[in-house]
């Protein structure tokens, strides 16, 4: 899939009548050639065949990024000089401009691991604000078009997108932002974004939400399963082309997008039923600036992580190595999106802390999640009056889940999925943390700064013939706790299976469990 754009153009198109009365969703792939003309409004300046070596970013640059992938007419302007063709590996620093032509795009990787995908007919200006000297604010000013992003949340670096009608502050998330027909659109696949209009109105959007902002500062928030996806991005492009520069109110656009999303959600649900994705954990801490991600997945599906899309081979093993700048310490998140060329959905997220070796000074590294000592419960911080929230925590799959393993598997790798109900995304700032306990000990803590969604997944592994008890504790800033429990029972009577001692299975799985239970063959961790 590395040459996914040049060899074929896969995606979704929308046919919209002038009144937006009908929506037709067309999907599939077709061969395309990359045409030469630039979009309207762009200056047709000759591009150099290759960027000179002296334009490599200096070590003093506040923004360090490079072009990882370039297709078609993609130009770079430095210091307001002539436009020159952007090459793969070309350096991008603050005050640089990038523009893409028709059927053209560029993937830009930032030193911290963040990825920006500048799609066709887009122009952007990169700048950096470092007023306090300690934290950098990377500003991406979109003159026209859209930018897809997968942003890493770093303590010393934040991102903000600007258009003519609003700004969007990004807090470690994935989706796209653009300036389309005089409107700003911000759409999220995962995370949280704060959108502020030119008039000062603020709108917070989270996973599966899309907001439209017109030139008068009016906002329209839409809940769409397709939010943040390339499919929705393509649909919005089709709407724009149908308008041909004519102004249309948000209500008409909303009607069109909702019709599209209903079909998309149905196809997404059908795909999810056939999807398998079991990720191998990577541990909580990384001490080198790279990691290899591995998962067992449905052969033939498309897996996208950090903007790189790969097809899972026939052996069902997805494996990919990702790297970042060795000085970009902090949390690294690897959101995996699974798709079939027509729809996609988040299927897993690896999260780890990249730290210097010198950070391990107080105690030896724990050998497993279970080996970590229980942390002392923090004292409730004095806080201003909080809302009287009717919060509840819900864990998917029921209170108890019994899972039978087939040989040669020795453990179950799955996601503990849970969600917050009784509140809205606007209430997330009332939460102090969410802690997952395993057999009574802290296993995973999500701090307030990372609480950007109402649903979460935590990877867990349970050994064969073991019982693991989990408890999810949501703590408000006023000290109140809300809990939900989940027990996994993972079992396999080895002697009942070929590869164990039996040539053929003797009894069905439910009888295997009973035999193990009666003999004491299954026990708590």
Query: pLDDT grade, residue 11 (50/70/90)?
Result: very low
Query: pLDDT grade, residue 482 (50/70/90)?
Result: very high
The rounded percent of the chain whose pLDDT value lies above 70 is 78
Give the integer Cα–Cα distance in Å for 454 and 490: 28
Q: Mean pLDDT for the chain? A: 80
What pLDDT, on the 0 to 100 scale, is given for residue 406? 79
- Check whether 257 has a pLDDT greater than 60: yes
Average pLDDT over residues 280-296: 89
Query: pLDDT grade, residue 31 (50/70/90)?
Result: very low
Angle, nearest 10°, between helix axes 230-243 and 250-274?
150
pLDDT in tens, 309-366: 999 999 999 999 999 988 888 889 999 999 999 999 999 999 888 887 654 444 344 4
What pLDDT, on the 0 to 100 scale, is given for residue 59? 58
Of 97-111, 228-242, 261-275, 349-363, minimum mean pLDDT range: 349-363
- Check whether 86 has a pLDDT greater than 50: yes
Q: Which residue has the higher pLDDT, 41 or 335?
A: 335
Query: For tokens 């609003």, what's the residue?
Result: 166
Of 35, 93, 34, residue with least CA distance to 67: 93
Considering only the C-alpha atoms of the chain, give the largest distance between any 2 of them, rounded to a whole number of Å: 80
Q: Which residue has the higher pLDDT, 111 or 369?
A: 111
What fold does the segment set 277-363 form as a domain? Immunoglobulin-like (2.60.40)
- Check whether 487 has a pLDDT greater than 90: yes
- Check whether 414 has a pLDDT greater than 80: yes
- Check whether 95 has a pLDDT greater than 50: yes
- Check whether 19 has a pLDDT greater than 50: no
Paired residues of 128 in beta bridges: 138
Give the CATH number of domain 389-525: 2.60.40.10
Of 114, 122, 101, residue with least CA distance to 178: 122
What pLDDT, on the 0 to 100 scale, is given for residue 214? 84
Average pLDDT over residues 294-309: 94
What pLDDT, on the 0 to 100 scale, is given for residue 423? 85
Give the integer Cα–Cα distance in Å for 61 and 506: 68
What pLDDT, on the 0 to 100 scale, is given for residue 43? 38
What pLDDT, on the 0 to 100 scale, is given for residue 18? 34
Q: Which residue has the higher pLDDT, 135 or 517?
A: 517
- Check whether 32 has a pLDDT greater than 50: no
Of 491, 442, 492, residue with least CA distance to 467: 491
Average pLDDT over residues 18-44: 39
- Check whether 46 has a pLDDT greater than 60: no
Asked if 277-363 and 389-525 have one fold, the answer is: yes
Domain-wise residue ranges, the chain? 4-273, 277-363, 389-525
Half-sphere exposure of 225 (CA within 13 A, CB side): 15
Beta strands in 207-289 (DSSP E): 209-213, 219-223, 277-279, 285-286
Query: pLDDT grade, residue 250 (50/70/90)?
Result: low
Q: How long a stretch of residues is the chain?
A: 525
Highest averaged pLDDT of the listed ranges 95-99, 378-382, 518-522: 95-99
Structure tokens at 225: 């399963």
- Check whether 29 has a pLDDT greater than 50: no
What fold does the segment set 4-273 form as a domain? Jelly Rolls (2.60.120)
Structure tokens at 343: 């729809």
Distances (CA, A) of 473 to 51, 378, 395, 458, 488: 54, 13, 11, 13, 17
Query: pLDDT grade, residue 427 (50/70/90)?
Result: confident
Of 360, 338, 362, residue with least CA distance to 349: 338
Give the integer Cα–Cα distance in Å for 306 and 335: 7
Of 109-113, 408-412, 494-498, minimum mean pLDDT range: 494-498
Torsion angles phi and psi, residue 194, rounded to 5: -105, 115
Query: pLDDT grade, residue 381 (50/70/90)?
Result: very low
Of 128-132, 292-296, 426-430, minimum mean pLDDT range: 128-132
The rounded percent of the chain whose pLDDT value lies above 90 is 44
Query: pLDDT grade, residue 397 (50/70/90)?
Result: confident
- Check whether 503 has a pLDDT greater than 80: no
What pLDDT, on the 0 to 100 scale, is given for residue 48? 36
- Check whether 374 has a pLDDT greater than 60: no
pLDDT in tens, 190-233: 888 999 998 888 988 888 999 988 888 888 899 999 999 999 99
Give the integer Cα–Cα distance in Å for 453 and 188: 11
């Amino acid at each position: 899939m590395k040459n996914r754009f040049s060899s074929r153009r896969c995606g979704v198109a929308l046919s919209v009548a002038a009144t937006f009365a009908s929506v037709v969703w067309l999907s599939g792939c077709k061969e395309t050639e990359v045409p030469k003309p630039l979009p309207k409004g762009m200056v047709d300046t000759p591009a150099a065949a290759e960027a000179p070596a002296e334009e490599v970013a200096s070590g003093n640059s506040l923004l360090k990024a490079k072009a990882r992938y370039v297709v078609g007419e993609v130009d770079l302007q430095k210091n307001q000089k002539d436009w020159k063709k952007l090459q793969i590996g070309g350096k991008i620093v603050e005050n640089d401009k990038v523009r893409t032509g028709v059927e053209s795009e560029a993937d830009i990787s930032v030193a911290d691991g963040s990825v920006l995908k500048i799609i066709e007919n887009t122009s952007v200006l990169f700048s950096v604000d470092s007023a306090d000297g300690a934290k950098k604010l990377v500003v991406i000013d979109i003159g026209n078009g859209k930018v897809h992003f997968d942003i890493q949340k770093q303590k010393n670096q934040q991102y903000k997108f600007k258009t003519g009608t609003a700004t969007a502050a990004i807090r470690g998330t994935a989706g796209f932002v653009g300036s389309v027909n005089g409107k700003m659109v911000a759409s999220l696949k995962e995370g949280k974004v704060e959108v502020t209009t030119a008039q000062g109105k603020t709108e917070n959007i989270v996973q599966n939400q899309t907001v439209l902002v017109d030139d008068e500062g009016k906002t329209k928030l839409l809940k769409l399963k397709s939010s943040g996806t390339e499919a929705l991005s393509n649909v919005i492009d089709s709407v724009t082309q149908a308008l041909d520069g004519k102004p249309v109110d948000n209500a008409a656009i909303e009607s069109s997008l909702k019709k599209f999303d209903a079909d998309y959600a149905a196809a997404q649900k059908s795909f999810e039923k056939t999807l398998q994705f079991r990720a191998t954990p990577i541990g909580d801490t990384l001490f080198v600036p790279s990691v290899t991600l591995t998962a067992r997945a449905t052969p033939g599906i498309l897996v996208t992580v950090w903007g790189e899309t790969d097809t899972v081979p026939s052996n069902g093993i997805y494996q990919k190595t990702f790297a970042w700048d060795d000085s970009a310490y902090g949390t690294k998140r690897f959101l995996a999106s699974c798709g079939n060329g027509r729809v996609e959905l988040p299927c897993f997220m690896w999260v780890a802390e990249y730290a210097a070796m010198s950070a391990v000074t107080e105690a030896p590294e724990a050998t497993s999640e279970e080996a970590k000592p229980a942390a002392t419960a923090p004292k409730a911080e004095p806080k201003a009056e909080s809302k009287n929230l009717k919060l509840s925590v819900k864990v998917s799959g029921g209170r108890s889940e019994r899972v039978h393993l087939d040989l040669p598997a020795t453990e179950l790798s799955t996601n503990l999925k849970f969600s917050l109900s009784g509140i809205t995304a606007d209430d997330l700032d009332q939460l102090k943390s969410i802690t997952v306990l395993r057999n009574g000990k802290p296993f995973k803590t999500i701090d307030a700064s990372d609480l950007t969604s109402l649903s979460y997944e935590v990877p867990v592994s349970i050994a064969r013939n073991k019982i693991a008890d989990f408890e999810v504790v949501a703590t408000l800033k006023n000290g109140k706790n809300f809990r939900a429990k989940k027990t996994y029972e993972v079992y396999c009577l080895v002697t009942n299976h070929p590869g164990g001692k039996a040539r053929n299975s003797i009894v069905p799985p439910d009888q295997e469990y009973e035999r193990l239970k009666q003999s004491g063959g299954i026990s708590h961790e």
